[in-house]
């Protein structure tokens, strides 16, 4: 199969000359195998992969085949669904604009109407546009915070959330049913425009979206009166956040806003950063330099598609900078939004927050301490959006805030994905509020939260395992962890083991088993007696296996040492498993 695919792609004139030349220049058989041993996997979020020629790479031919499957699925809903159509956005990555147009014209060829944004836009605005334009689906071309070699294709359904598993499986079935890669030429752009199948979208959606974002501010008068007293340095990291973040903050009154000039403009090579990921401290080095020079209070960074936000704040007014982890940022915004809404009488009776099982249990303690319910879901913001929809339709909860530890945050009911534009507004307002009311920084408020609700420390480690062999190694690691009897980790007793693949949990003290109500997923979570956990899961978007650590200790002086014992013992266990696997293969 691999050789047949390679010969087809490298010789058939359906594939353009650049594609054929790229493939014919390959001499490494392992590289050829990796490009053709499988199709780039379409999961519940869509596609993500390295840009290049081949069935296991991101390219316009994979875009065509995937979009054809989506078009056929939409067509099953009838003429009304095709008329409602699909809205498409893209970020600043290599080929993003070309891939977006390619998808639009394949849909048009199938008689599906398309609304195509006229330039790059944030992923959360695409989610909003699906709802605002009442389309049946949405597509955004992005690889989020991945390295420059990657691009991706995310599909959204009519509620504005990422396509749920049922629809994703049905779309995948359509894609897989077509074995032939040939004959999927898109409609010409001129014809699509002339026939009314393609419409370009501009400022009319931007303004409504930004008005909604600004409407989430809890203290708009404070922002208007004192906004100039908070100095902010912002970087869009060469991505789509530049215009909407700047507009939202400045229009609210936060006029002391400085944008890092070297990172202001779109750049698909991301030449000023090792990775365009605000989770990585070195990515914000330029922001820190400008922050010190300007004596800024707050540093903000959005990733290329502006759905994740990195935050750096002063330890105390005028003090050194420290970067918040995703867990710390999520806990801080949970506290700010719920406590302020409570004071203002804006907290509804059935208020709920939603977080992932990989995120800190401290958020549960904060919410419950403020009289607000908590819903925990699987890792991935699509599950937060699904739970929000479930609450809304069932009338049993009112969504207040959602977050995941990987720098994703959401408030409001008009976007159904993580939104860094919204998060930038909320963090800026909160930083100003605490500066004006008590001369405190975000970090000082966090210390108050710890003192009141408990001291926690979190972290994450990843093992990159690329290629076919890496995928097999990840599966074997997870299987080995399932088979081992793990009663303690780093001196802490494991109280419960939850296996989301089997959808079953077990109380290790009593031996009692219990069902897990969340969907099936290849995730293991070991919860400690008294709070905290270790969790393992293969990434759904990158070739790596991830491990999450959370430790609680009432004595903050011993917390670091306890955390390090847990982390080091667990990683030693995983390295030993990996060494055995690789030794057996050798």
CA angle centred on 394, ends 391 and 395, rounded to 5°: 80
d(CA 47, CA 62): 9
CB 445 within 8 A of CB 434: yes
Can you tell me the distance from the alpha carbon of 456 to that of 478, in angstroms, rounded to the nearest whole number?
A: 26
SS3 292: helix
Chain CA centroid to CA 51, Å? 20
Residue 509 neighbours by CB under 8 Å, 6+ apart: 495
User: CA angle, 152 as apex, 41 and 57 as ends, to 5°?
Assistant: 55
Is the distance from CB of 492 to CB of 464 less than 8 angstroms? no
First to last CA, the chain: 26
Indicate the angle between helix axes 362-369 and 326-344, nearest 10 degrees: 0
What torsion, rounded to 10 degrees, do the Cα atoms 157, 161, 163, 166 define?
A: -100
Which residue among 10, 92, 144, 325 is the active-site one? 144
Residue 412 tokens, joined: 């409001």
> Nearest Cα to 338, choosing from 363, 365, 361, 367?
367
- Residue 43 is classified by DSSP as B
Q: Is 144 a catalytic residue?
A: yes
Rounded to 5 degrees, φ, ψ at 562 are -65, -45
Catalytic positions, please?
144
């Amino acid at each position: 199969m691999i050789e047949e695919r390679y010969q087809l792609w490298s010789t058939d004139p359906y594939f353009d000359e650049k594609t054929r030349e790229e493939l014919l220049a390959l001499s490494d058989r392992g590289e050829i195998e990796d490009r053709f041993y499988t199709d780039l996997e379409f999961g519940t979020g869509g596609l993500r992969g390295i840009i290049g020629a081949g069935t296991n790479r991101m390219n316009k031919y994979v875009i065509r085949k995937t979009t054809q499957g989506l078009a056929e699925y939409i067509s099953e809903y009838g003429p009304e669904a095709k008329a409602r159509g699909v809205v498409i956005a893209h970020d600043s990555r290599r080929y993003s604009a070309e891939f977006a147009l390619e998808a639009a014209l394949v849909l048009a060829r199938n008689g599906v109407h398309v609304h195509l944004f006229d330039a790059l836009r944030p992923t959360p605005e695409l989610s909003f546009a699906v709802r605002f334009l009442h389309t049946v689906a949405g597509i955004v071309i992005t690889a989020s915070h991945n390295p420059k070699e990657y691009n991706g294709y995310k599909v959204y359904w009519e509620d504005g959330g990422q396509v749920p598993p049922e629809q994703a499986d049905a779309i995948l079935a359509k894609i897989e049913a077509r074995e032939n890669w040939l004959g999927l030429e898109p409609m010409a752009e001129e014809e699509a425009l002339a026939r009314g199948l393609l419409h370009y979208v501009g400022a009319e959606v931007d303004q409504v979206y930004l008005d909604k974002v600004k409407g989430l501010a809890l203290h708009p008068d404070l922002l208007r009166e004192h906004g100039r007293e908070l100095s902010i340095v912002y970087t869009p990291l060469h991505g789509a956040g530049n215009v909407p973040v700047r507009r939202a903050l400045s229009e609210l009154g936060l006029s002391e806003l400085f944008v890092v000039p070297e990172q202001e403009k779109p750049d698909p090579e991301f030449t000023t950063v090792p990775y365009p990921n605000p989770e990585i401290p070195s990515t914000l080095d330029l922001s820190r330099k400008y922050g010190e020079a300007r004596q800024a209070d707050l540093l903000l960074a959005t990733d290329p598609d502006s759905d994740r936000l990195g935050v750096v704040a002063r330890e105390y007014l005028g003090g050194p900078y420290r970067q918040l982890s995703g867990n710390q940022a999520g806990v801080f915004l949970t506290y700010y939004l719920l406590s302020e809404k409570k004071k203002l009488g804006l907290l509804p009776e059935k208020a709920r927050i939603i977080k992932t099982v990989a995120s800190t249990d401290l958020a549960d303690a904060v919410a419950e301490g403020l009289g607000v319910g908590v819903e925990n879901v699987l890792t991935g913001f699509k599950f937060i959006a699904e739970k929000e929809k479930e609450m809304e339709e069932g009338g049993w909860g009112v969504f207040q805030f959602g977050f995941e530890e990987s720098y994703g945050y959401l408030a409001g009911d008009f976007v159904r994905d993580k939104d860094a534009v919204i998060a930038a507004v909320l963090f800026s307002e909160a930083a100003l509020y605490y500066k004006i009311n008590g001369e405190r920084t975000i970090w000082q408020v966090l210390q108050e939260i710890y003192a009141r609700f408990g001291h926690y420390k979190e972290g994450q480690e990843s093992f990159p395992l690329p290629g076919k062999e890496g995928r097999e190694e990840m599966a074997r690691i997870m299987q080995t962890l399932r088979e081992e009897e793990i009663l303690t980790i780093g001196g802490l007793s494991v109280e419960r083991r939850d296996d989301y693949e089997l959808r079953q949990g077990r109380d290790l003290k009593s031996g009692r088993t219990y069902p897990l109500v969340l969907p099936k997923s290849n995730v293991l979570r070991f919860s400690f007696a008294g709070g905290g956990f270790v969790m393992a899961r293969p990434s759904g978007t990158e070739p790596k296996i991830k491990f999450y650590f959370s430790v609680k200790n009432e004595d903050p002086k011993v917390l670091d040492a306890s955390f390090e014992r847990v982390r080091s013992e667990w990683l030693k266990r995983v390295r030993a498993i990996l060494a055995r696997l690789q030794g057996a293969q050798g």
